[in-house]
Amino acid sequence: MIEDLKNKKAALELLQSETNEKLNDYKQQVSIIQKQIDDYNKPALTPTQVDTLHKAIEDAVDGFNFDEVDMYDVEFGMEYDGRVHLETIDLNSAYELTDRITTHVMNLFKEADAPEETEDA
């Protein structure tokens, strides 16, 4: 009787292991197909185009002056031992940085003619 239960348990554990392997395979296949769905309407870029895009973003960020004190909101705190520390720092000029990056990237492309979109669509 005890041997039968142990054999049944071993068989079920083997089935569980095989099922888990199949489940992981299915999850991987679903992930691959989801990526293909997500990428379906994306334009394909060549490695050279990707490098050019990367360079444009890099140039835009490199040319941005992060040293201006007025671009940041800062909050200081004080420790119990009297030491002052910087609690938070926020960049106020995120729009300017984003605009600079967008301009550099958009200079790599020409805008395609497209029909005007309506609110009904």
Per-residue pLDDT band at 116 (split at 50, 70, 90): confident
3-state secondary structure of 83: coil
Dihedral (CA of 103, 106, 112, 115) sign: negative
Domain ranges of the chain: 1-41, 43-110
Q: What is the pLDDT of residue 118?
A: 64
Express each pLDDT in 12-50 by its tens digit.
998 898 898 999 999 999 999 998 888 888 888 888 988
Express each pLDDT in 102-111 by its tens digit.
998 888 887 7
Express each pLDDT in 79-109 by its tens digit.
999 999 999 988 888 888 899 899 988 888 8
3-state secondary structure of 69: helix
